[in-house]
Chain A
Amino acid sequence: MATMTLYPDDERLSATERAVFDLYAVSAVVLFVLMMLIGLLMRTAQGNWMSIPPDLFYQLLSMHGTGMVGTMGMITTAVMWFFLRKYVKLHLWAFVANFVLFLFGALCIIGAIFVGNYGALWTFLYPLPVALAKTWSNGAAAWFLLGYLLIGVGMLLFYLDAALGLIGRFGNLGRALGLQWLLSGDIDPDHPKTVVASTMVIIANVLGILAGAVVLVLSLVSAANPEITFNALVMKNLTYWFGHMYINATIYMAVIALYELLPRYTGRPYPITRPFLWSWAASCVFVIVVFPHHLLMDYAQPRWVSIIGQVVSHGAGFPVFLVTTWGVLTNIHRSGMRWTMPSRLMVLAMFGWAAGIVPAMLDGTIAINRVMHNTQWVPGHFHFYLLLGVLPMTLALLYHVIGSREQTTLDSSADRVGFPLYLLGGLIFTFAFLDAGRMSVARRMATHLPEWRGTDQVGTIGALLLVLAMLYFAMRIAIGLLRVKPDAGPRHAAR
């Protein structure tokens, strides 16, 4: 069972671990602010409040999508590492290698976009990066793809090391996932939820990385020799298998923070249950086969694949979400929770995840997808659960950690302004996208029709509030992590 102590001893970081964790955290908050600024620029341009040439717009959109997804993957890996290392032996070299390879990958991607003018978006859908008339060279596309490969290898190393730790302690991944208790037997009350979630993420994301390793190298082959062509639909399936799994895994890694921290703030235990194990086992299978919901409008796709896409869409995130929401709400109910930043962010995260899933599932329904496909409904739903769900989960951990470093209140008056600003900005920003989707405004358009500008401009205002709030959070977290006040009597000094 997760500990009830606010800052338990087994979470202490050694000086090296602390340096590495700080590197992850500070890089992430800085990258989030930069990518949000790019997002703000794009939304402002769509609202016609400024002008950005279309080729630059697609470069910015590529940078924003890739940068946000990559940064989310990087920081949620740190969330998983932070808690999982308490239960199984993790090697710091793997965590460091992941970061270093992420950095190299990011450099390749930034170079491909801003030096090589790559603009085929984060989904690099074949054959767009390597064929057709375009404003970038195959070389730039190759650098972009190479960047992804490096990031994938880094994650693979981290996951393999974590798998080794899990197998070393539990015997195999099935036992770590708790499969032995699905039907009968007394569940070990000390079996950590973190272990269950991490195992699920490792299984799903390693398969995703495998698909990525295939599709990225084949795209590279095509960049080197454009005469070799591949079936674009199969490539698309593999690309989404990889990309969907990667971004989905961020939710499942981030939610670990909720499982671990919530009981400490409510002061009430959060036991592991059979429905909990069932939900993670089911989601593990579903998340691997849910990606066809991205291809509902690809009519060449076999019909049964699309049907799987719809059915599994409803089943994939739902079990974990339902069990987690139930668990969290019953944990909070009448608990006399201490309302500081980590707890506020956790409750916001639950709301963002819960509310964001609704438009997502709607869009995963074939009849609705016919109308909503590739409209701004899509960025509406994923910004909802990424901005208001996953990001607050990770911010909750970072806030919690700065509370361990200095004797500071996690509820300053600036925090009390920053939080509602973020919430308000987030709601305005995402609802503007959803409303534009309702009006069938196309997504991924550099230039918007005058009729679309209303929602664009409202969205821009929301984005501005978000950027301001995030800028404050980033400074607060970076300063909180990096400033070592010898006289502050830190609750959790480095070992």
Chain B
Amino acid sequence: MSAPQAGTDGCSHEGMRNGAEPHSLMEHRALRRASLPLIACALLALPPLRPLLDATMTLQMLVQIPLLTTLGWRLAGAVPRGAGDAMGRWNADGISGLVLASMAALPWMLPRALDAAVDDSWVAAAKFVSVPLLIGLPLGISWPRMGFVVRGVFFMEFVATCFRLGWIYLASPGRLCSNYLLGDQQQLGRLLLLIGASVTLLLSARLLFGSFDLAGAAVDRSRHPDGEQPARSR
């Protein structure tokens, strides 16, 4: 299945090449890698980008939060090799990371939380910290560890969530957020249904007609019990 690889490969492969590098150099590299996503997160949290992306429910949910998640994902490239290996022990097949990201994503699907993030600066701070660090980062660390089955569950749940949320937003007769209009909420609902349908179609087409490079772990996990060589797709 297609997978954003950015930053993730950098984490393990570069780490291996850097095995002999001095500690300070590695730290420097990690800092450099982390700085760009962190600066981008800060920019998103400040005017003019923040009020712009908070202006509609659709922008907040479909642009701001995904951007923060992507930036968190890129942070995975800055995780030092030692830390990555240590985490690997509790993150077999990337499952713990996926569960953590799912749990952290739950509140940001609730209109009440989106609303509060506009009104209350503490909630806003929680969003700008938790989305990159508790959703994006764990996903970025875990994705290369996930085999075909875990990725399949992830995509299935992603699509189902788009349909569920989309429908709930469309079905609710009243405004769910005090900051956003009903039309905005319904537009978001329709877009979520569209995203769900498009991802389903793309995945189905890929599974039916695509080509896959299921190296190592995904094909025979018994030989690679800790999922060191995850499923990759071209």
Q: Which residues of A contact B (CB under 8 A)?
A: 89, 91, 94, 153, 156-157, 160-161, 163-164, 167-168, 171-174, 177, 179, 203, 206-207, 209-210, 213-214, 217-218, 221, 228-231, 234
Contact = CB atoms under 8 A, between A and B. Distances in A.
A230 B208 contact: no
Given A210-B200, A218-B164, A228-B172, A164 B156 contact: no
A168 B214 contact: yes
B168 interface: yes
Interface stretch (B19-27, B29-37, B49-57, B145-153): B145-153
Interface stretch (B6-14, B68-76, B122-130, B218-226): B218-226
Contact of A230 (B171, B200, B210, B218): B171
A212 B204 CA distance: 17
Interface string B191-224: 0000000001000100111111010001111100
B152 A160 contact: yes
A210 B199 CA distance: 12
Given A174-B208, A210-B159, A164 B149 contact: yes
Contacts of A164: 147-149, 214, 218-219, 231
Contacts of A207: 200, 204
A231 B200 contact: no
Q: Considering the complex of A and B, which 9 residue pairs feature the smallest CB-CB distances, nearest first?
A: A160-B152, A213-B160, A174-B208, A164-B148, A160-B149, A168-B219, A214-B163, A174-B209, A173-B207
Contacts of B149: 94, 157, 160-161, 164
Given A164-B219, A217-B160, 20 more contacts: A89-B220, A94-B149, A160-B149, A161-B149, A163-B152, A164-B231, A167-B212, A168-B214, A168-B219, A173-B207, A203-B207, A207-B200, A209-B156, A210-B160, A214-B163, A214-B164, A217-B164, A218-B164, A230-B167, A234-B167
Given A229-B171, A230-B171, A172 B153 contact: no
A160 B164 contact: no
Contacts of B172: 228
Contacts of A203: 204, 207-208
28 contacts: A89-B219, A153-B153, A157-B149, A160-B148, A160-B153, A163-B148, A163-B152, A163-B207, A164-B148, A164-B219, A164-B231, A167-B148, A167-B207, A167-B212, A167-B214, A171-B212, A172-B210, A179-B208, A203-B204, A203-B208, A210-B160, A214-B160, A214-B164, A218-B167, A221-B164, A228-B168, A228-B172, A230-B171
Contacts of A228: 168, 171-172
B67 to A, nearest CB: 26
B42 to A, nearest CB: 36
Contacts of B200: 207, 210
Contacts of B204: 203, 207
Given A210-B156, A228-B171, A231-B171, A172 B164 contact: no
A218 B221 CA distance: 35
Contacts of B214: 164, 167-168
